[in-house]
Amino acid sequence: MQAFGLPFVIAINRFTTDTAREIKALTDFCDMNGYPVSLTEVWAKGGEGGLDLAEKVLHAIESEENHFAPLYDVNEPIPEKIRKIAQIVYGTKDVEFSSKAQKQIKQFMEFGWDKLPICMAKTQYSLSDDPAKLGRPTDFTITVREFKPSIGAGFLVALTGDVMTMPGLPKQPAALRMDVDKKGNAVGLF
């Protein structure tokens, strides 16, 4: 967020499975770096669990200056826009493009679509394109395997790794633990 020049607040959304040690590690990291942080309980308490976050966000946008700057100029070539996103946001060393992606880039230039913004699609487990590289790995290369043009929405989606473009679910979705007991009560929601 700092790269965009915007004020921000880090939200830690507490879940019942989070340990005090995990929460402390996150809040200590934020404190050490001077990042504003809010421990939210939206998952368990709904809107009430996000009141502290809302207050801190309002304070940030009312008291800090907004120096928004996009990461790239939309007129830059597609590969350069993607490199900037990958290197600045994800921390990659480099970006590679499959032969299919390279052909699509040439075709998009012919259609005039090369001036559209980029939306990156990658694994939810990592800032890389490899779900086995958890968190924020270092010294890695992302591979753009293909593009999905979203012309009506006005952007190009760069698909990296083996990723689906529908919203992701955890390995064990909560729905697997939901049921109704013999008295008709919902169980497994929290």
pLDDT top residue among 188 and 150: 150
CATH classification of 78-160 is 3.20.130.10, yes or no? no
Write the CB contacts of 115 (distance below 8 Å, at least 6 apart in sequence). 74, 75
Q: pLDDT (tens digit, 9 = 90+) per residue, 75-123?
A: 999 999 999 999 999 999 999 999 999 999 999 999 999 999 999 998 8
Strands 155-160 and 118-121: parallel
Entry pTM: 0.75
Tell me the mean pLDDT in the region 59-75.
Answer: 94
Tell me the mean pLDDT in the region 117-144.
Answer: 90
Tell me the mean pLDDT in the region 40-57.
Answer: 93
Q: pLDDT (tens digit, 9 = 90+) per residue, 149-176?
A: 999 999 999 999 888 776 666 777 777 8
The pLDDT mean for the chain works out to 92
- Would you list the domain boundaries of the chain? 2-63, 78-160
Q: Does 38 score more than 70 pLDDT?
A: yes
Tell me the mean pLDDT in the region 69-79.
Answer: 96
> What is the rounded distance in angstroms from the CA atom of residue 27 to the CA atom of residue 11?
10
